[in-house]
Amino acid sequence: MLLARYITRLTIRLRGTKGIMILRILYKVAILFLFYIAILTFQFILFRLAFPDPTIIYLREGLGPEEREIIRRSFGLDKPLYEQYVLYITNFLRGDMGFSFLYKVPVKEIVIDRLLSTMILVMPAIATAYLAAWLIGSYMAWKRGSLVEKTVLSILTLIHSLPLFWIGLIVLIVFAVELRIFPPGGMRTPPYEAASFIDKIASIDFLYHWILPYLVLTLYIMSGPALLMRASMISTMGEDFIMTLRAVGHSERRVMRDASRYSILPLITQLGITIGLSFAGSVAFETVFSWPGIGRELVIAFNSLDYPLAQGIFAIMSLAIITSNTVADILYSYLDPRVKR
In three-state form (DSSP H/G/I as H, E/B as E, the rest C), the secondary structure along 171-223 is HHHHHHHHCCCCCCCCCCCCCCCCCCHHHHHCCHHHHHHHHHHHHHHHHHHHH
**What is the residue extent of each domain of the chain?**
2-93, 107-340
Tell me what the mean pLDDT of segment 133-139 comes to: 92
pLDDT value at 191 more than 80:
no
pLDDT value at 319 more than 60:
yes
Average pLDDT score, the chain: 83
Q: What percent of the chain has pLDDT over 90?
A: 31
In tens, the pLDDT along 46-90 reads: 887 776 666 665 655 566 677 767 767 766 777 788 888 888 888
Taking the C-alpha atoms of residue 199 and residue 243, their distance in angstroms, rounded to an integer, is 55
Candidates 1.10.3720.10, 3.60.15.10, 3.30.70.360, 2.60.40.10; CATH matching 107-340? 1.10.3720.10
* pTM (2 d.p.): 0.83
pLDDT at 156: 94
In tens, the pLDDT along 250-267 reads: 777 788 888 888 888 888
Q: Quick one: angle between helices 147-161 and 204-236, nearest 10?
A: 120
pLDDT at 110: 93
